[in-house]
Structure 1
C-alpha cells in the first residue's frame, strides 16, 4: 500500500491556524451567549426591582392606621372651595381640556368605556402610567378623592412610599364605593398648562362636591381643594370624611 505523502510545513501551519480560528470562534460564541444571559438577567432584575422595593417599603405601614401615615394634619392648609362647573360636560375622547386650577377638582371630561373614568381597582399611579387628566376628572365627578403629588414629591423615595402606603389602604376585593380614592402625579407638563401648587406645598387633595350628599341642584356644586407640604393620612381621613363619595354629582357610578 502506498504511503500518504507527509504534510508540507506550510500545510501544517494552515491547519494549525484553522484549529486556532475555530477555537477562537467557539470562545467568542460562548462570550456572546454569556453577555446575552447577563443582559437578560439585568433586565429581569430591573423589572422586578420596583415591585420588590415597593413591597419592602410598604411593610412598615401595614399595621398603621391611615391617620398614622405621613405628617400631621397641620401639614395642610385649610380646605378651599370654588364654584364648580362641567357636570355631564363630556368632550370627545382625545380632546385636550385646559383646567383653570392646579390640580382640577371639576370640569369638562372624557366619557368613553375603558378610557374614562379610570378603573376603580387602580389606586396609585406614577408619571409612567397615569391616565389623562380628562379621565381623572370623570373619576372626580363620580365621587373620588384624588391625592395629587408634584415632581418634588415624586423625586423623594420616602415621600413616595408614604403616598403608596396611603393608596394601599384603599385597596378592596370588591367595588366598595367608600374606597373611591386615587393617588396620581401632577406632572411638569400639567404645570405648564394649568400652573403649580402653592409655594412649599407638594401634595394636593381634590373632590367634586355636589354641595352635600343627595344634593341635585347643580348650582350648589363646588370643587374642594386642600394643599399640603407633605402627605398626611390624618388630613386625608378628615378630608374624605367631610367630602365622602356620596357628596358628588354621580356617586352611584364607578
Structure 2
C-alpha cells in the first residue's frame, strides 16, 4: 500500500512537471512568435517607407520618357565562365546569360565609372534576383540624375533590397536605344520551377531619365522567389 501511494505521488509529480514544462514551452513559443511577427512587420514597414520615398525621386513616370517593359526568353545559359575568358552579350545591357562564378557584393548599391565590377559579375547578381539600373555616359554627366539614382540605390540598400546602379560604357557593347539613358534589367523565372531554363526570362525597361516611380514599379513586379537562384547571397 505504501509503495502504491509512493508511485501515485511520483506519477502526479511527473504529470505536474510535464504540465508546467508544456506551459513554459507555449509561453516561449508565443514570445518568439510575437517577436518574429513584430520583426517581420517592422521590416515590411521599412520596405514600404523606402518604396514611398523612392517614388518621389527623379521625374514622374509620365515625364521620364520610358518605354514599356520588354520581356523575352533567355538563351538558356547559366554557365559560370572564369576570367580571363571573355564573355560577350547580345543585349545592351544584358539581363541574363553566362557570367563569372562570383557576383558583385551586396554592400555596394551604387557604382561609378571607375569602380564598377565587370559586367559578367553583375549578370551573376541578376541571376540571384537583383534589379540593376544601368546608366550611360550621358546620364553620368548629369549631376541631378546621378544624385537621384544614387539616392534610390541607397534607399533600397537600407531596406535590404537587391538593387544595384552601375554605369554602361560604350566599350561594354551596343548603345541604349536612341534618347534612352537609363536601363532597368531583371532576370526572372517561374516561381514554381526556377531551375527550368525554359521558364526564365530577361526583362528590360529603357528610360530617358531617372524615375523613382518607374524604378519602383519595375522592382516590385517580381519577388525574389521569381529568380533563377532565389534566396542566395
TM range (shorter): 0.7 to 0.9
Equivalent residue, structure 1, for 2:57: 69
TM-aligned CA deviation for residue 86 of structure 1: 4.8
Task: Report deviation, 1:132.
Answer: 0.2
**Aligned residue number for residue 183 of structure 1:** 165
1:214–1:246 CA contact under 8 A, matched in 2: no
C-alpha separation between the residues in 1 aligned to 2:127 and 2:194? Answer: 13
5 Å matches for 1:70-109?
70-74=58-62, 75=64, 76-109=66-99
| Alignment match of 2:127 (pick from 116, 134, 141) | 141
Corresponding pairs, count: 182
Moved over 2 A (4+): 85-88, 211-217, 243-246
1:141–1:248 CA contact under 8 A, matched in 2 = yes
Note the C-alpha offset of 1:148. Answer: 0.2
* Unpaired stretches in structure 2, ≥5 consecutive residues: 1-49
Answer with 1 or 2: which has the greater Rg: 1
TM-score of the pair, normalised by structure 2 = 0.73
Q: CA RMSD, aligned part only?
A: 1.9
Distance 1:213 1:155 in 2: 42
Unaligned 5+ runs, structure 1 = 1-61
Give, in whole Å, the separation in 2 of the partners of 1:164 and 1:138: 21
- TM-score with structure 1 setting the length: 0.68
> Tell me, what secondary structure is at the counterpart of 2:157?
coil
SS in 2 for 1:88: coil
Following superposition, the deviation at residue 245 of structure 1 comes to 2.5
Partners of 1:207 and 1:103 in 2: CA distance? 11
Q: Secondary structure at the match of 1:170?
A: helix
Which of the numbers 200, 204, 209 marks the counterpart of 1:230? Answer: 209
Measured in 2, the distance between the counterparts of 1:229 and 1:212 equals: 31
